[in-house]
Amino acid sequence: MTTEASSIPSVADSRQPTADSQFGRFFLPGPTEVRPEILAAQTRPMIGHRGTAMVELMADLQPGLQRLFRTQRPVYLAASSATGFMEAAIRNCAMERVLALVNGAFSDRFRKIAESNGLAVDALEVPWGEIHDPGMVADKLRTADYDAVTVVHSETSTGALNPIEQLAAVAHDAGDVVLLVDSVTGLAGVPVESDAWSLDFILTGSQKALALPPGLALGVAQPGALERARRKTNRGTYFDFLDFEKNVAKNQTPNTPPLSLLYALQAQLECIDREGVAARWQRHQAMAQRTWQWVDAMNQRGVALEVLAPPGGRSHTVTCIMLPDGIAGPEVTAAMSERGYTIGGGYGRLKERAFRIGHMGDHTLEELESLLGHLEEALLK
Amino acid sequence: MTTEASSIPSVADSRQPTADSQFGRFFLPGPTEVRPEILAAQTRPMIGHRGTAMVELMADLQPGLQRLFRTQRPVYLAASSATGFMEAAIRNCAMERVLALVNGAFSDRFRKIAESNGLAVDALEVPWGEIHDPGMVADKLRTADYDAVTVVHSETSTGALNPIEQLAAVAHDAGDVVLLVDSVTGLAGVPVESDAWSLDFILTGSQKALALPPGLALGVAQPGALERARRKTNRGTYFDFLDFEKNVAKNQTPNTPPLSLLYALQAQLECIDREGVAARWQRHQAMAQRTWQWVDAMNQRGVALEVLAPPGGRSHTVTCIMLPDGIAGPEVTAAMSERGYTIGGGYGRLKERAFRIGHMGDHTLEELESLLGHLEEALLK
């Protein structure tokens, strides 16, 4: 398998102009563009999910996944969207009372998932676009007997990046409290240290900074999360961490995995290893910084754009840009669509007032530059 | 999109000899072999899952799915293995006390899923390979206040086919009892009439008789199942039927769908429509009957094979064949592997004493004939 995957060009190599002129123009904050070579890896033939070929595939995936999550723990894989693993986090690790940190649409979803599973949930809300202050969270944790905190690392709806290292510290300082981290547009795009930061459970989905098709959820549970699962009853079957743990030790999955996506993951992990995880983070940082600079430059040219998230609290994978009065979000996405580019609209309540650029996955600074050039034209027209 | 899918040959057309001599030799009872053209459909580029292209794709899928499930109801789709939808059935539709019909490994899993979600569960067990007698189930339903019955239509571990039409009737005769049907190796291979038989919830997975890669769960809920969901609290988020229902009405999915598999499904539904659902059922029946005849013929040649499931209770998609003393299951699968064929081993406790043939999906009678020829050689050697 290694030899097959090795024939796949690295990110830089494969970003040559192709016959498909649409390629390199798809900047949604998920699903992100998937390179043709990675899509092609999905066409390998079926194998049994309990056979040796599958064990070899799983064994081949783990080291690259561990490098990506910066963990010595095994990485759980399942046929699911990331929402399924948010529910998994709740069902396995939250005992009775949850503090949900809410600063956008997806962190609010995490809150709702906890509620829909019968837990007592308090929300600590800050305005959309802002991030959570660890001191405020520490204060809030003293007000009730919380056993779990939910947080979204990179809020895809706003482009805000929560300080999960510090939030894990305050959760643990508060006693037997676990931090459950949705890093859907974080992992593989912004620095994550699953072990060093003691993130009790961290999850992501395949179709964001990993630049794979959707349908594969990935997560890492620290021993404390497993200890919770052991104490919980009624945690169900499909997302049972004890079942994942037992199976991953044998290089298996508890349930049938989405094989085509594992093939694509294998090909993509080879590319990520060639680029280097830290270099991948740097590429995302460079794309984010360029986007913020461009917003500044547009202001100097008289278009009052604004990056929603505050400096120091901005994700490197997605930027939500607020528009001045008189320009509606849908106009901008439509104008870009006419130019052959796909960007994200403002999410939910921000639909009319914002747009979003997903500068993540395998995109390059050059592609972003070209996007920003067209965006500039569209806005100055 | 229709034009793209139309270029995909039908089952018969594409079963020409190919450069890959391994093709047509993969007879696991799941995942089943996926034709190269269907695998290739997975390589279409990403689209946003809330955009118009996705709405068009979903709208295009529904009629074919409804023809397959024989329903007027919408078909729910999710990134999940079928096990996830078994859990969905339980979380949405089972209130307090469940009767689990157990006649093999997967029906036992359904029982465990109900237990792991905190329900009171009684099992009505019959020996592996046998099917459930509706009269016995009716009797059992009178002994306690059950609100749901779980059943596996086609038991992949044994090849037994439960009479789900009659079981639905006895469940409904017993009062407010819903029948939750795992038709994982049933649907698309053996007759299913979701509406006419009043199957309250029926689910399947993509990698069986549909002959798609794994990772997509499919299911149909009748109004009674939805009514249950409305009355249930703590049914969670990822598998919430009310959320599926709300979204499918807009040709959307509640959570990010596994896009590559939807592309493959679209291509495959075109082929299934060209073949015709009833013709597909007949092809499976012919393959099953040929397998049973072959077992009889082998007996006449002195090899005491036995189809585990009783006549009248045999699935058309998978046959579990018991071996005489002196021939171990793993020897048979290994001998076939040497000949370039993949067949299933005996499941779990039957590993040493049986093997299984998955004659489902897009396999043809000709391919089965060739498999049986090699199997005969291996057994007579």
Which tens digits make up the pLDDT trace of A153-166?
999 999 999 999 99
**Distance of alpha carbon A90 from alpha carbon B45, whole angstroms:** 33
Nearest Cβ partner for B43 among A28, A39, A86 = A39
Provide the angle, in degrees to the nearest 10, between the axes of the packed helices B82-93 and B105-116.
50
Contact B205 A34 (CB under 8 A): no
**Distance of alpha carbon B381 from alpha carbon A319, whole angstroms:** 67
- Residues 6 or more apart in contact with residue B120 via CB below 8 angstroms: B96, B97, B98
Contact B237 A32 (CB under 8 A): no
Contact B84 A81 (CB under 8 A): no
Over the range B333-366, which residues count as b (16 or more CB within 10 Å of their CB) and which as e? Answer: bebbeeeebbbbbbbeebeebbbbbbbbbbbbee
Q: What is the pLDDT at residue B8?
A: 55
Q: What is the pLDDT at residue A3?
A: 38
- How far does the CA of residue B261 sit from the closest CA of chain A (Å)? 9
Strands A97-102 and A120-125 turn out to be parallel
- How far does the CA of residue A357 sit from the closest CA of chain B (Å)? 13
Q: What is the pLDDT at residue B17?
A: 42
Token readout for B301 is 């040649």
**Distance of alpha carbon A308 from alpha carbon A128, whole angstroms:** 8
- Helix (H) / strand (E) element for A322: namely strand A318-322
Omega into B214 within 30° of 0, i.e. cis? no
Chain A residue with minimal CA distance to B41? A43
Contact B22 A45 (CB under 8 A): yes
Contact A238 B80 (CB under 8 A): yes
**Distance of alpha carbon B111 from alpha carbon B99, whole angstroms:** 8
A contacts of B216 (beta carbons < 8 Å): 79, 215
Q: Please, is B34 exposed, middle or buried when counting C-beta atoms within 10 Å of its C-beta (0-12, 13-18, 19+)?
A: buried
**Distance of alpha carbon B367 from alpha carbon B18, whole angstroms:** 13
- Helix (H) / strand (E) element for B334: namely helix B329-338
A contacts of B357 (beta carbons < 8 Å): none
Instruction: Convert the pLDDT of each residue in B192-251 to its tens digit.
Output: 999 999 999 999 999 999 999 999 999 999 999 999 999 999 999 999 999 999 999 999
Domains of chain B from N-terminus onward = 52-272 (3.40.640.10), 277-380 (3.90.1150.10)
A contacts of B240 (beta carbons < 8 Å): 116
Q: Are A10 and A275 in contact (CB under 8 A)?
A: yes
Q: Are A262 and A57 in contact (CB under 8 A)?
A: yes
Q: What is the pTM of this model?
A: 0.95
pLDDT per residue, tens digit, chain A (381 aa), is: 333 444 555 554 455 444 445 689 999 999 999 999 999 999 999 999 999 999 999 999 999 999 999 999 999 999 999 999 999 999 999 999 999 999 999 999 999 999 999 999 999 999 999 999 999 999 999 999 999 999 999 999 999 999 999 999 999 999 999 999 999 999 999 999 999 999 999 999 999 999 999 999 999 999 999 999 999 999 999 999 999 999 999 999 999 999 999 999 999 999 999 999 999 999 999 999 999 999 999 999 999 999 999 999 999 999 999 999 999 999 999 999 999 999 999 999 999 999 999 999 999 999 999 999 999 999 998
